[in-house]
Amino acid sequence: MVNGFDPANISALDSATRDMIERRQALLGPAYRLMYANPVEIRRAKGTLLWDSAGNEYLDAYNNVVSVGHCHPRVAEAVYEQMQTLCTHTRYLQDGILEFASQIVPTFGDPIRHIMFTCTGSEANDLALRIAMHHTGRKGIVITSEAYTGNSFLTAGLSPSLGRKSPLGEWVRRIPAPDSYRIAPAEIAATMIRQLKYEIEELERRGEGLAAFIADSLFSSDGIYADPTDILAPIAEVVRAAGGVVIADEVQAGFGRSGDKFWGFQRHGHRPDIVTMGKPMGNGFPVAAVAVAPHVIERFGNEMRYFNTFGGNTVAIAAARATFDVLMSEGLQENAARIGRMIQEGIREIARSDERIGDVRGAGLYIGVEFVKDRTTKEPDSATALAVVDGLRQRRVLISATGYHANTLKIRPPLVFSAADADRLLTTLAETLKAV
Beta pairing class for 49-51 and 210-215:
unpaired
Residues near 32 by Cβ (< 8 Å), separated by ≥ 6? 24
Residue 3 has a pLDDT of 83
Structure confidence at residue 294 as a pLDDT band (50, 70, 90): very high
For the segment 49-91, what is each residue's pLDDT rounded down to a tens digit?
A: 999 989 999 999 999 999 999 999 999 999 999 999 999 999 9
Mean residue pLDDT across the chain? 96
Report DSSP letters for 69-81, one per residue.
-BT-HHHHHHHHH
DSSP-assigned beta bridge partners for residue 249? 276
- Whether 24 shows a pLDDT value over 80: the answer reads yes
For the segment 193-220, what is each residue's pLDDT rounded down to a tens digit?
A: 999 999 999 999 999 899 999 999 999 9
Residue 232 has a pLDDT of 97
C-alpha 366/C-alpha 113 separation (Å) is 28
The percent of residues above 70 in pLDDT, for the chain, comes to 100
C-alpha 121/C-alpha 318 separation (Å) is 18
Q: How far apart, in Å, are the Cα atoms of 162 and each of 147, 150, 220?
A: 9, 9, 13
Host H or E run for residue 328: helix 314-329
Count of residues for the chain? 436
Residue 113 has a pLDDT of 98
For the segment 142-184, what is each residue's pLDDT rounded down to a tens digit?
A: 999 999 999 999 999 999 999 888 999 999 999 999 999 999 9
Residues near 191 by Cβ (< 8 Å), separated by ≥ 6? 176, 183
- Whether 8 shows a pLDDT value over 90: the answer reads no
Q: H helices of 118-161, where?
A: 121-136, 153-156
For the segment 223-249, what is each residue's pLDDT rounded down to a tens digit?
A: 999 999 999 999 999 999 999 999 999
- Whether 6 shows a pLDDT value over 90: the answer reads no
- Whether 2 shows a pLDDT value over 90: the answer reads no
For the segment 337-389, what is each residue's pLDDT rounded down to a tens digit?
A: 999 999 999 999 999 999 999 999 999 999 999 999 999 999 999 999 999 99
Host H or E run for residue 18: helix 15-28
C-alpha 11/C-alpha 19 separation (Å) is 10
In contact, 331 and 347? CB cutoff 8 Å:
no
In contact, 298 and 291? CB cutoff 8 Å:
no
Residue 117 has a pLDDT of 98
For the segment 136-147, what is each residue's pLDDT rounded down to a tens digit?
A: 999 999 999 999
